[in-house]
């Protein structure tokens, strides 16, 4: 069954679009599983607390390896079993987040990111990845006053991450979606693309 992931800078509207897609799949009586990164498992949620806590001060390499550890657990505990059970899997972030955030944003070598990602994920790659794209200024405006460690990053970092997603979007697996539009308009675009690619 298909494996669909959603990516984008913080406050891009990924979660909203995932919820709308889930409602669509329910109406179609399609069985699915939604997972999120970091997290999605009991171990992953503990890692998430460390990663997103504003009190956690860590080196970029530590940050990436913690994301990879959470990802490895998620793949083996949740994603693989769901795919074997013929369920749609929808991921709120996956390995591409590390390419954008730690590769482009933190400046860790992309080759290192890819190598460890492949090990962590058993080389599992989404069938299609939607990048919900919004301007950095919109992201900053949408963020709540209480922000996590990643969301507290400066504008320059977010711009590098967004640039990374734009580079990734040149690969046919990715679909760059303008997220700075009406929510339902974005949702209809996503559904239409999934139909065009015969994923649903």
CA-closest candidate to residue 109, choices 171, 64, 169: 64
Q: Of 138, 140, 131, 130, whose CA–CA distance to 180 is shortest?
A: 138
Strand partners, 131: 7, 176
Integer Cα distance of 76 and 65 in angstroms: 17
How far apart are the C-alpha atoms of 75 and 80, rounded to whole Å?
A: 6
For residue range 38-83, what is the model confidence (pLDDT) as tens digits? 999 999 999 999 999 988 889 999 999 999 999 999 999 999 999 9
Stated pTM of the model: 0.95
pLDDT in tens, 116-152: 999 999 999 999 999 999 999 999 888 765 566 676 7
**Over 90: is that where the pLDDT of 86 sits?**
yes
How many domains does the chain contain in total?
1
Q: Are 94 and 48 in contact (CB under 8 A)?
A: no
Helices and strands, counts by H and E, the chain: 9, 5
Q: What's the rounded Cα separation, in Å, for the pair 183 and 37? A: 22
CB contact burial 23-61 (16+ within 10 A = b; e otherwise): ebbeeeeeebbbbbbbbbbeebeebbebbbeeeeeeeee
Tokens for 181, please give them: 């539009």
∠ CA 164-15-48, rounded to 5°: 75
The torsion angles phi and psi of 175, rounded to 5 degrees, stand at -125, 115
Q: Note down the domain range covering 171.
A: 3-196
Q: What region does 36 belong to: left with phi over 0, alpha with psi -120 to 50, or beta?
A: beta
Instruction: Give the per-residue pLDDT at 144.
Output: 63
What CATH number does residue 134 fall under? 3.40.50.300
Q: Give me 164's structure tokens.
A: 């990374």
> How would you class 159 by CB atoms within 10 Å of its CB: exposed for 0-12, middle for 13-18, buried for 19 or more?
middle
- 91-101 tens-digit pLDDT: 999 999 999 99
Q: Mean pLDDT in the chain?
A: 95
């Amino acid at each position: 069954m298909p494996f669909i992931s959603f990516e984008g800078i913080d406050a891009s509207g990924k979660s909203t679009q995932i919820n709308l897609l889930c409602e669509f799949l329910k109406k179609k009586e399609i069985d699915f599983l939604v997972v999120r990164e970091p997290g999605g498992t009991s171990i992953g949620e503990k890692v998430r607390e460390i990663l997103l806590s504003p009190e956690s001060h860590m080196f970029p390499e530590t940050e990436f390896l913690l994301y990879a550890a959470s990802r490895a657990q998620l793949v083996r505990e949740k994603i693989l079993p769901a795919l074997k059970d013929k369920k749609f899997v929808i991921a709120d972030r996956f390995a591409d987040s590390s390419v954008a955030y730690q590769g482009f944003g933190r400046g860790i070598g992309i080759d290192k990111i890819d190598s460890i990602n492949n090990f962590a994920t058993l080389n599992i790659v989404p069938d299609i990845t939607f990048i919900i794209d919004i301007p950095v200024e919109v992201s900053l405006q949408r963020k709540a006053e209480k922000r996590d460690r990643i969301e507290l990053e400066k504008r320059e970092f977010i711009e590098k991450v967004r640039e990374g997603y734009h580079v990734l979007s040149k690969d046919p697996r990715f679909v760059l979606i303008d997220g700075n539009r009406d929510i339902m308009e974005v949702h209809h675009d996503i559904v239409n693309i999934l139909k065009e690619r015969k994923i649903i």
